[in-house]
Chains A and B, each alone.
Chain A
């Protein structure tokens, strides 16, 4: 008999700190955007943007993904997490590491603090990857979602090792390839290999589950897997040896792979039994619509269309911001409402189920606040994107302000869920 997923769920003590650290970091990042619009209106290789990007990618996105994965791996692989202690070590190291890295980039100092921070992040990732691999090994479920998660974890390790190598190369140059090309390599290993691939693995299981979509064929996911991974390896080699045609071929392969995944998700959406989307799923739907923007942007950038030649630099920043903020951050914010209330609900009410009338997991947060958060996010992101594309500082700042309000509401709901107390009867 299949086990019920919640029997394998880890202790909330492991999962919840990731959400708290992650959402507070996101709030800090939105403040940094608000007060430092110039980070987004100059060449992407600048200290402020490097700092903001690393805080966003590690302290917010990767942090929450780690926490959520410890809860979701038992659902997807139908097995208990190998080690909660590894998860806690990883949390502490990633937290310190991301702050130290962000501080060093802000100071544009490639000295000891940067290397300590980078080493903390690498060790945190080693703990995480070991935990995922051993857990996956003990699972009898050999599905495509599991393969995506394993591969994404390995790409994460590659990304942070590449980042550390890049930092060493900045301080003590030893590679012929330019740092800018190496930065693109590092960024895309992270964006495509880790974030997008991990999202594909988790969402292709969870979204059909949340929407109750059955009889979905996973062939499109298999195509996506091969196109993305072969394309990415090809792209990284091409970037390293500076072979432009190779980069173009790799971009086409990865984009086709992502479209293959999107068509799977669209099919799940069309076949859904649950017709009305709740607030968490609405924000998730928005992020999938936004994902189409960077796919077209990257194609335009690599083909260097005449029209956009003068816009190459702002569009590169717009490309990265759309992926990091418009797609991944938005998806995480939406999916928080699908995972965190359940985790806390189970912690608070386990043992009282069926005995008294209980609230539902969705009653743990304020829905109106979540709706306002979604609208503010959509407006803030649109302003930010327009400001970046037109290199207008005041628009970036206004976008940052609206985003800050959205993230503040998100934080309010996250804390409301986490500190939920049962009503006295």
Chain B
């Protein structure tokens, strides 16, 4: 992963899942980010812990607005992805710790 992508991932740590109180990166909800420097487009593949998650709207909107605020010259697209389905294995060590998993 290049440094620009890493910066974006770091930025997305500001988006918190309000039910679980853990950021979406450590929850493993961010499946991928692509920054196209030539077309000035950002694509984020994002999933939710459950397809019916009532907080889904808020999480995707929050992520989009945050990127727009920090990358004002870019066009941002958030893609909701359901394959592969989110599972516990996607949690980072920090995410597990914050959920009291240990």
A interface residues, Cβ below 8 angstroms from B: 1-2, 4-7, 9, 75-76, 78, 205, 208-210, 212, 214-215, 273-276, 342, 346, 353-355, 360-362
In the complex, how many angstroms separate the beta carbon of B39 from the nearest chain A beta carbon? 23
Complex partner residue of B56 from A5, A208, A276, CB under 8 angstroms: A5
Whether B88 sits at the interface, judged by CB under 8 Å, is yes
Which residues of A are found within 8 Å of B64, using beta-carbon distances? 354
- Inter-subunit contact A205/B52 (CB<8 Å): yes
Complex partner residue of B80 from A1, A5, A9, A276, CB under 8 angstroms: A1
Known pairs A5-B53, A78-B52, A205-B52; A275 contacts B99 (CB<8 A): yes
Show 11 A/B contacts (Cβ-Cβ < 8 Å), sorted by A. Answer: A2-B80, A5-B52, A5-B57, A6-B56, A75-B54, A78-B51, A212-B20, A214-B85, A214-B86, A354-B62, A354-B66
Which residues of B are found within 8 Å of A275, using beta-carbon distances? 99-101
- Inter-subunit contact B99/A273 (CB<8 Å): yes
Q: How far is the CA of A346 from the CA of B100 in the complex (A)?
A: 28
- Inter-subunit contact A209/B101 (CB<8 Å): no
- Inter-subunit contact B53/A354 (CB<8 Å): no
Q: How far is the CA of A4 from the CA of B48 in the complex (A)?
A: 10
For the complex of A and B, the 9 pairs showing the least CB-CB separation, nearest first, are A354-B65, A275-B100, A6-B57, A4-B56, A2-B51, A353-B61, A354-B62, A4-B57, A5-B54
- Inter-subunit contact B18/A362 (CB<8 Å): yes
Complex: chain B residue closest to A215, CB-CB: B87
Which residues of A are found within 8 Å of B91, using beta-carbon distances? 273
Q: How far is the CA of A383 from the CA of B15 in the complex (A)?
A: 45
Complex partner residue of B18 from A1, A209, A273, A361, CB under 8 angstroms: A361
Which residues of A are found within 8 Å of B49, using beta-carbon distances? 209, 212, 273
Q: How far is the CA of A212 from the CA of B65 in the complex (A)?
A: 26
In the complex, how many angstroms separate the beta carbon of A354 from the nearest chain B beta carbon? 2
Q: Which of B53-77 contact A (CB under 8 A)?
A: 53-58, 60-66, 68-69
Which residues of B are found within 8 Å of A342, using beta-carbon distances? 54-55
Complex: chain B residue closest to A76, CB-CB: B52
Which residues of A are found within 8 Å of B9, using beta-carbon distances? none
Q: How far is the CA of A261 from the CA of B13 in the complex (A)?
A: 37
Q: How far is the CA of A209 from the CA of B51 in the complex (A)?
A: 10
- Inter-subunit contact A273/B88 (CB<8 Å): yes
In the complex, how many angstroms separate the beta carbon of A205 from the nearest chain B beta carbon? 7
Complex: chain B residue closest to A78, CB-CB: B52
Q: How far is the CA of A346 from the CA of B63 in the complex (A)?
A: 16
In the complex, how many angstroms separate the beta carbon of A316 from the nearest chain B beta carbon? 39
Interface size on B, residues (CB 8 A): 35
Q: How far is the CA of A342 from the CA of B86 in the complex (A)?
A: 23
Which residues of B are found within 8 Å of A4, using beta-carbon distances? 48, 53, 56-57, 60, 80
Which residues of A are found within 8 Å of B16, using beta-carbon distances? 360
In the complex, how many angstroms separate the beta carbon of A198 from the nearest chain B beta carbon? 17
Q: How far is the CA of A6 from the CA of B54 in the complex (A)?
A: 5
In the complex, how many angstroms separate the beta carbon of A240 from the nearest chain B beta carbon? 40
- Inter-subunit contact A355/B65 (CB<8 Å): yes
Q: How far is the CA of A276 from the CA of B21 in the complex (A)?
A: 11
- Inter-subunit contact A360/B51 (CB<8 Å): no
Whether B50 sits at the interface, judged by CB under 8 Å, is yes
15 additional A-B residue pairs with CB within 8 Å, beyond A1-B80, A9-B54: A1-B82, A4-B56, A75-B54, A209-B50, A209-B52, A209-B53, A212-B20, A214-B85, A273-B91, A273-B101, A275-B100, A276-B100, A354-B68, A354-B69, A360-B18
Q: How far is the CA of A1 from the CA of B47 in the complex (A)?
A: 11
Which residues of A are found within 8 Å of B10, using beta-carbon distances? none
Whether B37 sits at the interface, judged by CB under 8 Å, is no
Q: How far is the CA of A274 from the CA of B95 in the complex (A)?
A: 10
Complex: chain A residue closest to B62, CB-CB: A354
Of A7, A205, A274, which is in contact with the most chain B CB atoms at under 10 Å from its CB?
A: A274
Complex partner residue of A7 from B19, B55, B57, B69, CB under 8 angstroms: B57
Q: How far is the CA of A215 from the CA of B85 in the complex (A)?
A: 11
In the complex, how many angstroms separate the beta carbon of A65 from the nearest chain B beta carbon? 17
Q: How far is the CA of A6 from the CA of B55 in the complex (A)?
A: 7
- Inter-subunit contact A346/B58 (CB<8 Å): yes
Which residues of A are found within 8 Å of B55, using beta-carbon distances? 6, 342
Q: How far is the CA of A361 from the CA of B54 in the complex (A)?
A: 12
Q: How far is the CA of A274 from the CA of B20 in the complex (A)?
A: 7
In the complex, how many angstroms separate the beta carbon of A144 from the nearest chain B beta carbon? 14
Q: How far is the CA of A4 from the CA of B64 in the complex (A)?
A: 15
- Inter-subunit contact A214/B99 (CB<8 Å): no
In the complex, how many angstroms separate the beta carbon of B54 from the nearest chain A beta carbon? 5
- Inter-subunit contact B82/A2 (CB<8 Å): yes
In the complex, how many angstroms separate the beta carbon of B48 from the nearest chain A beta carbon? 8
Complex partner residue of B87 from A214, A346, A361, A362, CB under 8 angstroms: A214
Complex: chain A residue closest to B82, CB-CB: A2
